Structure 1
């Protein structure tokens, strides 16, 4: 069974969706660790409640990004992590992690990329007045939300919709799509290694 690590910075709703899918048997993987870069983030409580080992790092306590990521890579290698799932991780991944886990780091973003990359994608979509937005799962590269797209689903934007209601609709799709895509990628990885 493949070993995965989830990286998150906030409330952790996608972390929870992945953990729930594993517990139900819909995602065949071992969730070995949560990496969090924000002490006090609610995702830490979710991980502890789910029995997932949690590692909280404060990037500012390291001299630079390479030192921070080297510490994380050492931990990932120690636990023999096969795959990294970003779930609301609000940091750009640097070369130290990218080089070690090339093609094995995925992210989920609340828009149909390349539209509305970066922070506040839902607010950006509303401000632009689009009729549809959605969710993208993509491989992580050195850019901000620029990696190869793996899967996308659209979400209709109703005229006059609030950011809260649109966010709720987008997150519902995220929580369905992300575990499915991760399961598919892990199976494909296993087939390639046979």
Structure 2
């Protein structure tokens, strides 16, 4: 699977999905704002920010930046499948080249992946395939690993099983508790996500089995 080549040098269109404070979103906004315009720029722009809940800091960040927002709450739909379809349609309305999960805490379903599979980027606070799931930091610490980190990957229909794009390593210190370790992972995660999304947007990519190749 390959990303479609863009016929013009226009920046790639990003829809970013958030569930909370939006620090990863802010990192993307800052990188885009700081980059020069033209062919040497970041290569992408955020065209919309979506969320699964109201009144969160991530939406406020988008609104301050003048970016359109939308909210798609699970509780507003009769079934999870209906919610998934609604989220897919709301996202598709902005015609994204890439969709970025920036701390989006819901698992998408069949309809969303049918539209955005191979284009939906997520982060995870562990070195996949080790320690998938909601407690990656806690599980790594409990296991006694000496290094952990974060993974940027494409989303598939499993739990943190999609093709890995890039990883960053974080040393585990003797004095670490879950909160301290997670904070250091988040710092690396933000930098890695900004770098990866920019490279995907500027260079394109292809997925060969489980391998992601960025030229």
Alignment TM-score > 0.5, same fold: yes
1:79 is paired with a residue of what secondary structure? Answer: coil
State the alpha-carbon separation in 2 of the partners of residues 128 and 52 from structure 1: 42
Q: CA deviation at 1:190?
A: 8.2
Matched, 1:118 2:128: no
State the alpha-carbon separation in 2 of the partners of residues 10 and 176 from structure 1: 18
Structure 1 counterpart of 2:34: 24
Matched, 1:99 2:109: no
State the alpha-carbon separation in 2 of the partners of residues 39 and 93 from structure 1: 18
1:170 is paired with a residue of what secondary structure? Answer: helix
Contact 2:20 2:58 in 1 (8 A): yes
Contact 1:70 1:96 in 2 (8 A): yes
Uncovered stretches (5+) of structure 2, i.e. residues with no partner: 1-10, 36-40, 207-215
State the alpha-carbon separation in 1 of the partners of residues 49 and 199 from structure 2: 21
State the alpha-carbon separation in 2 of the partners of residues 33 and 185 from structure 1: 18
Match of 2:25 among 2, 15, 18: 15
State the alpha-carbon separation in 1 of the partners of residues 108 and 194 from structure 2: 21
Q: CA deviation at 1:22?
A: 0.9
Structure 2 counterpart of 1:70: 85
Match of 1:165 among 151, 166, 180: 180
Contact 1:18 1:27 in 2 (8 A): no
Structure 1 counterpart of 2:160: 145
Matched, 1:180 2:198: no
Structure 2 counterpart of 1:5: 15
State the alpha-carbon separation in 2 of the partners of residues 158 and 102 from structure 1: 37
1:117 is paired with a residue of what secondary structure? Answer: coil
Instruction: Please give the root-mean-square deviation of Cα atoms over the aligned residues, in Å.
Output: 1.7
Deviations 1:134-155 (Å, cap 9, x if unpaired)?
0100010001111011101110
Contact 1:98 1:141 in 2 (8 A): yes
Q: CA deviation at 1:158?
A: 0.3
Uncovered stretches (5+) of structure 1, i.e. residues with no partner: none
Structure 2 counterpart of 1:43: 58
Contact 2:154 2:165 in 1 (8 A): yes
Count of residue pairs brought into register by the alignment: 191
State the alpha-carbon separation in 1 of the partners of residues 151 and 205 from structure 2: 23
